[in-house]
Structure 1
């Protein structure tokens, strides 16, 4: 675009009383507006198929998400506005159900390629298998740390055509970035910059060995570092993609359907980050906390800015509606909404994407022999992991998993088991998979515990057990409480109003009805992620007489218990954790 000539500029100035220059002396041009649709997908976790979702204010669940419906939704948006782009908020892979995980998430990458995803922030789960394997997922090839799964979907796995972004991920050795910090996309002739970051807490959320080369730096500082560079490139808009989130303070009633909400908890990580990110960023597409919200958070100048997240597993697509002026490189208007990806309705209307149906059918066929193996009949149709996937309460499924880990490690003398709630990824089974006679198969079990963790048994003193329980509210868990699920015979109470570090009286921590002995020794079973200090539970690394059980996966321990006890199990929270 050329500047207006002097005569035209004078005419415009006199007719409209406009100035030819901004206060800084910058020349202004005749506006050239472009309407842009940005669709965001966060925390997909390889869910190629739909899962249950309940709309706000309704009681009956629908099937939502799944790549057949996601692709159809994106296609419809592109038909309505050719200037549409699909981007990601991290955790696109990792912690995935069997249809994707047993094939090393390669079908999920291919599905996102075909749907036309352009860029995504990194998520902590992208690092589950380490940096080298993440590079393979990005770039292709079969040199994997698990050759039993890699290149079984496509023997010539070609990698992601989209780019993972990580402005705050650097090499410890030299400070360089292993991933692009940002990507400038041409959308309808406008230049929109997407800059990505992953939660700084990634260091406590994945195996330390897999990320030992990397630093995860402050998210806001890292993004702000690149803003001058993007301004110099004369981009027309900047959108931040970040795998970090928040929680709504008013409860489940105020969720994705609330437009412009201002009820994100003030201590939520995403709120603290958003308040520090440069005002040049128009909107923030977030993830990680698995919540649906469409909120406004003040930027450093006190102006409201869009901060949005779309639930998880593809149930919602975040939608930004931007009008940008590509002549003067600025955003004229911005609004946001969350769009329900209604698989149930699309299947009934025969509007699912056929290409994605073919991909899902292929992936399903390659994994069905493992997934369809019968495990047990439960005593109820479903055992749940908690309301709205809450990780700060005891759940019926958490109780069962902790009991299963004691059951499977009896030969190692286990007395107590503790289970991290973030490792419980689905109800048993998902509402969409409830079967006759309350039957469950291995696919249902795998969906609950898909990480491939193995069991570890160790000695902890009573004081160490108390200390690890206190870590549920400290350090990296201070703003996102993670209540460890506990096994039968073990119980404790806590005072929610007490300060962090002093929420539990050791006299209220009991084993077989008696207070634990601070100096006594107890055999405790956990998965290898927790044993390494995962989820910021560093006390586990102090355990003694540690027995690693590399041939006992947590999912197999769970399946063993279900085979033995399935018909006796109910969807009942046992009351082992008591809030005062």
Structure 2
């Protein structure tokens, strides 16, 4: 699609519902806060002086075009009577209907995303290098997106292909595309990467900002990902790139936009926070603005220039709508819509034509669940059709049985307080088994990063415990190559300590370990002291700090990912099969219809609380 036709598409959508705007305008003007009225010029009609701009936003979709089953697909809200409602939510077909309804009557409407639209995707998207997700985002009418760390899973060239279209940099094209006569033209929306620069020339690899313009209204969008992206992406994915400080970058481009006369600015930041409650309607401004949220985004918001009027954020997969004070102490909106398309945020930005800026006191925002609808028989919107088409292309591969389970084996959906995940044990055991033979690396134990477990294995009456290749792919979608390396006992102990200290001090990351490797995690202590050194054993024998051990792990961990810097000090690396191949082989070898795999007993990590 040409730039001209993309603009025409966006313009057509922005004009939807314009006929009802005049009637709505009177109601909007009547509802304007008194503080906003004081900012109007004397003698000017407020309805002409200000205009309400709708900002619809979401984040961390991760290619989940269909609703995610089980706990990972749920959101909760607190009810007026104090009770909690659990809602099964998600799916781009449902999201499309919600966005259509939300846009009605809003001439000024922008849809934005804060990164991780792709990457770690289920098979229906991941098998096709996330082309289906980009196609879906085009169909949803996404206007602009910031990059997240997962946009770099396959490296710079693949990200540029997501923007510009064309053939995959390694796999090429199949008959011009996955479907005969069709080719991939890329995103209709701009991806923004203000703080991601080429190491050689220092220039951003994608546009740093984008300006929405309609009938004199101008709002700038700056997109950044977390500075720590190299810590959570494989080294190959970020090769040749530099990731700058989020605050410094946003301040730089906010100033540049200001010089161009763009006074209203929204930052799309792929970095997030942790609200005190998981309910999507939690009031994180009680007892004061931003009091109920912590984490990196709180510091970013407090230190970013007051020229920025709102933040749309992500990465932590949390739901919040908060007002965090800017450097001058004035409250400023910060939002996040959880993940997997379960929520969207609807924000009203009151734009003052006189100052060309956002009236902060006129900003309103709320998260809304993307409820799973009961569509009329025979009705399909364009997202249903898109999913059906791609599922059809994937069916032969996706539906192939690779194993059997007797009950749910939870990974991503396990409680956060459960540091050892049942599915984590299975994955670690699979990696050890694949790489234990002498000619495969001679691994004695395996370590698995918890963030790499992207789903659960669910037992349903319909599936009767059958695990398909598609199910396995949803759990291990990265297809990271397995490595076997030499580490000393001292390095192994340091790796365990790095789970709860250093980069992981605030948000601990507990490695999943293979059978025979045991230790005690004492949560009554702090930092590295939480690892009881004398308890670390392999097959009942204490780990010898001076001894060398052969350890299996994926290439992300062996590169020092997730703050495990000691792991990249390894020696004698041998590259094995992909983590997905190891996982599916294990499921096939250890289960059958008559003897399905049962959830393992999680007894490798003893937790003291």
TM-score of the pair, normalised by structure 2: 0.84
Equivalent of residue 420 in structure 2, options 371, 394, 406: 394
Task: Trace 1:326-337 onto structure 2 (pairs within 5 A).
Answer: 326-332=353-359, 333-337=362-366
Matched-pair contact (CA < 8 Å) for 2:485–2:552: yes
Matched-pair contact (CA < 8 Å) for 1:91–1:124: yes
1:541-562 per-residue CA deviation (whole Å, 9 max, x = no partner) reads 222332111xx11111111111
1: CA distance between counterparts of 2:389 and 2:354?
47
Equivalent of residue 38 in structure 1, options 42, 55, 67: 55
Matched-pair contact (CA < 8 Å) for 2:263–2:307: no
Aligned to 2:254: 227
Equivalent of residue 315 in structure 2, options 272, 275, 288: 288
User: Does 1:413 pair with 2:430?
Assistant: no
1:346-368 per-residue CA deviation (whole Å, 9 max, x = no partner) reads 23457976111111111111111
Aligned to 2:74: 54
User: CA distance change for structure 1 residues 496 and 188 in 2, over 3 Å: closer, same or farther?
Assistant: farther
2: CA distance between counterparts of 1:143 and 1:565?
35
Equivalent of residue 510 in structure 2, options 471, 483, 502: 483
2: CA distance between counterparts of 1:307 and 1:81?
22
**Secondary structure of residue in 2 paired with 1:235:** coil
1: CA distance between counterparts of 2:601 and 2:335?
32
Aligned to 1:115: 140
Matched-pair contact (CA < 8 Å) for 2:120–2:150: yes
User: Does 1:142 pair with 2:167?
Assistant: yes
1: CA distance between counterparts of 2:52 and 2:414?
35
Matched-pair contact (CA < 8 Å) for 2:75–2:88: no
**Secondary structure of residue in 2 paired with 1:117:** coil
User: CA distance change for structure 1 residues 148 and 503 in 2, over 3 Å: closer, same or farther?
Assistant: farther
* More deviation, 200-209/47-56: 47-56
Equivalent of residue 99 in structure 2, options 50, 64, 74: 74
1:135-189 per-residue CA deviation (whole Å, 9 max, x = no partner) reads 1111111152233789325742111111111221122223221211111102464
Matched-pair contact (CA < 8 Å) for 1:384–1:397: yes
1: CA distance between counterparts of 2:414 and 2:352?
40
Matched-pair contact (CA < 8 Å) for 2:413–2:455: no
2: CA distance between counterparts of 1:261 and 1:533?
37
Measure how far apart 1:571 and its partner are: 3.8
Aligned to 1:256: 280
2: CA distance between counterparts of 1:289 and 1:518?
35
User: Does 1:87 pair with 2:112?
Assistant: yes
Tell me the matched-pair count. Answer: 549
1:7-59 per-residue CA deviation (whole Å, 9 max, x = no partner) reads xxxxxxxxxxx9xx99xxx9997642211211112011111111133342588
RMSD of aligned Cα (Å)? 2.7
Aligned to 1:574: 602
* More deviation, 153-162/63-72: 153-162
**Secondary structure of residue in 1 paired with 2:272:** coil
Aligned to 1:503: 530
User: CA distance change for structure 1 residues 281 and 60 in 2, over 3 Å: closer, same or farther?
Assistant: closer
Equivalent of residue 340 in structure 1, options 369, 389, 392: 369
Aligned to 1:128: 153
2: CA distance between counterparts of 1:116 and 1:124?
23
1: CA distance between counterparts of 2:96 and 2:492?
47
> Which stretches of structure 1, 4 residues or longer, exceed 6 Å deviation after superposition?
26-29, 58-61, 263-266
User: CA distance change for structure 1 residues 283 and 267 in 2, over 3 Å: closer, same or farther?
Assistant: same
Task: Trace 1:393-472 onto structure 2 (pairs within 5 A).
Answer: 393-411=419-437, 412-429=441-458, 435-472=462-499
Equivalent of residue 581 in structure 2, options 543, 556, 559: 556
**Secondary structure of residue in 2 paired with 1:223:** helix
Aligned to 1:151: 177
User: CA distance change for structure 1 residues 148 and 530 in 2, over 3 Å: closer, same or farther?
Assistant: farther
Matched-pair contact (CA < 8 Å) for 1:385–1:396: yes
2: CA distance between counterparts of 1:306 and 1:92?
22
1: CA distance between counterparts of 2:43 and 2:261?
13
1:450-488 per-residue CA deviation (whole Å, 9 max, x = no partner) reads 001121112222111101111113343233221111111
Matched-pair contact (CA < 8 Å) for 2:234–2:555: no
**Secondary structure of residue in 1 paired with 2:587:** helix
Long gaps (5+) in structure 1: 1-17
Long gaps (5+) in structure 2: 1-34, 78-82
User: CA distance change for structure 1 residues 212 and 265 in 2, over 3 Å: closer, same or farther?
Assistant: farther
Measure how far apart 1:568 and its partner are: 5.1
1: CA distance between counterparts of 2:518 and 2:578?
25
2: CA distance between counterparts of 1:366 and 1:61?
34
1: CA distance between counterparts of 2:462 and 2:427?
21
